[in-house]
C-alpha cells in the first residue's frame, strides 16, 4: 500500500498531464463545432464501414435468388418496352395517315414499312409489311413522303409485293404539271434515278424542269402526287411522239416508310370499264 | 520567489497580448503561424516542477485558445510540450551540470538550444495541427503546416533570444 501510494506520488505529473489533456480534449469536443462534427462523422464512418463489410459478405449468399429476381424483372421490362414501342408506332402511323390529303374523296391510306427491296434487276420488287388483313389489296398505289413508289402487285394476309417504278412492267399514268395531257411513265431498266415519260403527244408543251405528277385518271393514285422532274426531252424512236427523261423524287435505295392508297370506288370503275370493253 | 512569480505573470500577460493581438492573426502562406508565447515555456528554469510547467502551459494555451476561438487545442498542445520539455532539456544538458539554469544560447550552447527548441516546437505543432485538422487525410498539408510553423516560431525564438540580456 505504501509503495503504491509512493508510486502515485512519484508519478503524479502523469496524472496531471492526463487530467489537463482530458480537459483540453473535452473543451475541443464540446466547444468547437468542426471537431464536434468530425468526431461524430468519424464514429459514424467506423460503424458504416463495419456494416458495409458485413453486407459485402452476406450478399454473396443471396446472389442466386437475386439473379433470378433480376432476370424476371428484366423479362418484364423487355415486354413493357416492346408493348410501348408497338403503341408508339401505332400512334405515329395514325397521326401521319390522318394528315394525308384526299381522305374524303374515297381514298383510304395505310402506313407500311419496306421489308425487302431490290434495285439491280430489270424487274425490281419491293415487299412491305401490310397485307389484306390491313386492307391492302392488289392494284393499290404506294407512295412515300417524296413521291410515288409503285403499285401493289399482290397481297398476302400480312405482306404485299409492290411493283415499283423501277420495274419494266411498271406503267403509271402521269401528267406534266401545268398541262392537261396525260402520259405514261416507264422505266428502261438502267439507271435507278431516272424513268421515262413515253407517248407524249408532240403538241404537248413541256420543258426541262417541269414537275411530273400523277394524273389521277387510273384511280389508283389520287391526282397530283409528285413523281419527278423532267431532266431531258427527246423524240421517240419512231419520231411519232415525244418522250422525256424524268429524275425521280423517290430515292428507292433508302426507302423505308411508305403509304398505300386505296380507292373505294376503284372496283366499280374497273368493272364498268371492263363491261364496256367486253361488249 | 514571489518576485519571480510576479515577473512570470508580467511576462505571461505581455506575451499573451503580443500573441493574441499580433502573431495569431498572421498565417504566412496559409501554413505558418508563429506561437511566440511558447518562449515563456521554453525559458522556464530547468528544475521547475513538471506539474507547475504543465499548469502554466495549460493556462497559457487556454488564454490563447479563448481569444483565438479554438478552445482546448493550444491548451492540449502546450501541455504536451511542457510535459516533454524536461526530458528533452535533460538530453541537451552537459553531464555533471547540476545548476537550475534557464535554457538559452549561453547556458546550453547555440546548437543545443536550437535542437532543444526545435524538438519542443515540433512536438507542440504536431499535436496542435493534428487536433486542428482532426484528420490524417491531408498528410501534405499537415506536414507543411508543422514544418513551416516550427521554422517560423524558431526564428522568432532565436531573434528574441539574441536580444535578451544575459543574466
As for the ipTM of the complex, it is 0.76
Between CA A190 and CA A243 the distance in angstroms is 16
pLDDT band at B9 (very low <50, low <70, confident <90, very high): confident
Q: Quote the domain boundaries for residue A176.
A: 105-263
The dihedral formed by the CA atoms of A133, A138, A141 and A144, expressed in degrees to the nearest 10: 50
Cβ–Cβ under 8 Å, residues A148 and A251: no
| Three cell numbers written together for B56 | 502554466
pLDDT at A82: 77
Contacts for A35-41: CB closer than 8 Å, 24+ residues apart: A35/B131, A35/B134, A38/B134, A38/B135, A39/B134
How confident is chain A (279 residues) per 10-residue block, as mean pLDDT?
78 83 80 59 56 69 78 80 81 69 66 81 82 86 88 87 86 83 82 84 80 83 87 80 88 84 78 75
CATH number at residue A163: 2.40.10.350
Q: Which chain B residues are closer than 8 Å to A34 by Cβ?
A: 134
Q: What is the pLDDT of residue B136?
A: 67
Going by the DSSP 8-state scheme, the letter that residue B71 receives in this structure is T
Q: What is the pLDDT of residue B121?
A: 92
The answer to whether residue A148 is domain-embedded is yes
Q: What number of C-beta contacts closer than 8 Å exist between A and B?
A: 60
Assess whether A110 and A175 both reside in one domain. Answer: yes
Reading the block at residue B58, the C-alpha cell is 495549460
Q: What pLDDT sits at residue A278?
A: 63
In a domain, A155, yes or no: yes
Question: B40-78, pLDDT tens digit by residue?
Answer: 888 888 888 888 888 888 988 888 877 776 778 888 899
Average pLDDT, chain A: 79
Cα A62–chain centre separation: 41
| DSSP symbol at A135 | T
- Has residue A177 been placed in a domain? yes
Does residue A276 sit within a domain? no
Which of B153, B72, B93, B162 minimizes the C-alpha distance to B120? Answer: B153
**A75 part of a folded domain:** no
Q: Are residues A8 and A126 in the same domain?
A: no
Cβ–Cβ below 8 Å for A21 and B73: no
Q: A234 and A132, same structural domain? A: yes
| Burial letters B81-109, b for 16+ CB under 10 A, else e | bbbbbbebbeebbeeeeeeebebbbebbe
One domain, residues A125 and A50 = no
Q: What is the structure's pLDDT at A210?
A: 87
State the first-to-last Cα distance of chain A, in angstroms, to the nearest integer.
143
Residues A21 and A140 in one domain: no
Q: Is A257 inside any structural domain?
A: yes
- A27 touches B at CB < 8 Å: yes
Question: What domain count does chain A have?
Answer: 2
Nearest Cβ partner for A27 among B55, B75, B80: B75
pLDDT at A44: 53
Q: Which residues between 34 and 73 in chain B have a beta carbon less than 8 angstroms from any beta carbon of chain A?
A: 49-51, 54-55, 58, 61-62, 65, 70-73
| A39 chain-B contacts, CB cut-off 8 A | 134
Mean pLDDT of chain B, nearest integer: 82
Which tens digits make up the pLDDT trace of B124-159?
A: 999 888 887 776 667 888 888 888 889 989 998 888
Of the pLDDT bands very low, low, confident and very high (cuts 50, 70, 90), residue B25 is confident
Q: What is the pLDDT of residue A105?
A: 62
Interface test with A, best of B79, B82, B129 (most A CBs within 10 A): B79
Q: Which of B47, B71, B82 to mutate to test the interface with A (most CBs of A within 10 A)?
A: B71
Q: In the prediction, which pLDDT does B124 show?
A: 92
Amino acid at each position: 500500500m505504501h509503495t503504491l501510494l509512493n508510486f502515485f506520488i512519484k508519478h503524479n505529473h502523469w496524472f496531471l498531464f492526463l487530467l489537463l489533456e482530458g480537459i483540453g480534449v473535452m473543451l475541443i469536443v464540446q466547444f468547437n463545432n468542426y471537431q464536434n462534427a468530425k468526431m461524430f462523422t468519424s464514429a459514424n464512418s467506423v460503424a458504416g464501414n463495419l456494416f458495409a463489410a458485413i453486407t459485402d459478405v452476406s450478399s454473396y449468399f443471396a446472389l442466386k435468388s437475386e439473379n433470378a429476381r433480376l432476370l424476371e424483372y428484366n423479362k418484364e421490362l423487355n415486354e413493357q418496352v416492346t408493348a410501348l414501342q408497338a403503341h408508339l408506332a401505332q400512334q405515329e402511323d395514325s397521326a401521319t395517315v390522318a394528315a394525308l390529303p384526299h381522305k374524303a374523296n374515297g381514298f383510304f391510306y395505310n402506313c407500311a414499312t419496306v421489308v425487302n427491296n431490290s434495285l439491280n434487276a430489270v424487274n425490281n420488287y419491293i415487299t412491305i409489311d401490310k397485307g389484306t388483313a390491313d386492307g391492302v389489296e392488289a392494284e393499290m398505289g404506294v407512295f412515300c413522303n417524296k413521291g410515288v413508289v409503285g403499285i401493289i402487285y399482290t397481297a398476302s394476309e400480312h405482306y404485299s409485293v409492290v411493283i415499283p417504278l423501277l420495274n419494266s412492267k411498271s406503267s403509271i399514268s402521269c401528267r406534266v404539271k401545268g398541262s392537261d395531257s396525260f402520259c405514261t411513265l416507264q422505266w428502261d431498266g438502267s439507271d435507278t434515278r431516272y424513268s421515262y415519260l413515253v407517248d407524249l403527244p408532240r403538241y404537248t408543251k413541256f420543258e426541262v424542269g417541269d414537275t411530273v405528277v400523277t394524273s389521277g385518271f387510273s384511280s389508283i393514285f389520287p391526282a397530283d402526287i409528285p413523281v419527278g422532274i423532267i431532266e431531258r426531252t427527246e423524240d421517240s424512236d419512231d419520231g411519232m411522239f415525244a418522250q422525256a427523261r424524268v429524275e425521280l423524287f423517290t430515292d428507292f435505295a433508302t426507302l423505308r416508310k411508305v403509304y398505300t392508297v386505296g380507292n373505294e370506288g376503284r372496283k366499280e370503275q374497273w368493272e364498268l370499264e371492263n363491261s364496256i370493253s367486253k361488249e | 520567489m514571489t518576485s519571480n512569480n510576479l515577473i512570470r505573470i508580467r511576462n505571461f500577460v505581455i506575451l499573451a497580448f503580443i500573441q493574441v493581438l499580433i502573431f495569431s492573426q498572421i498565417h504566412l502562406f496559409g501554413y505558418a503561424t508563429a506561437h511566440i508565447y511558447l518562449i515563456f515555456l521554453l525559458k522556464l528554469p530547468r528544475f521547475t516542477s513538471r506539474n507547475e510547467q504543465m499548469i502554466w502551459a495549460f493556462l497559457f494555451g487556454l488564454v490563447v485558445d479563448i481569444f483565438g476561438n479554438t478552445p482546448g487545442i493550444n491548451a492540449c498542445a502546450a501541455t504536451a510540450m511542457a510535459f516533454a520539455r524536461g526530458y528533452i532539456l535533460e538530453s541537451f544538458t552537459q553531464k555533471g551540470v547540476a545548476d537550475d539554469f534557464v535554457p538559452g544560447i549561453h547556458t546550453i550552447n547555440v546548437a543545443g538550444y536550437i535542437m532543444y527548441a526545435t524538438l519542443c516546437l515540433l512536438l507542440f505543432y504536431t499535436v496542435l495541427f493534428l487536433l486542428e485538422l482532426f484528420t490524417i487525410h491531408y498528410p501534405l498539408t499537415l506536414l507543411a503546416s508543422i514544418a513551416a510553423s516550427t521554422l517560423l516560431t524558431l526564428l522568432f525564438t532565436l531573434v528574441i533570444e539574441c536580444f535578451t540580456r544575459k543574466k
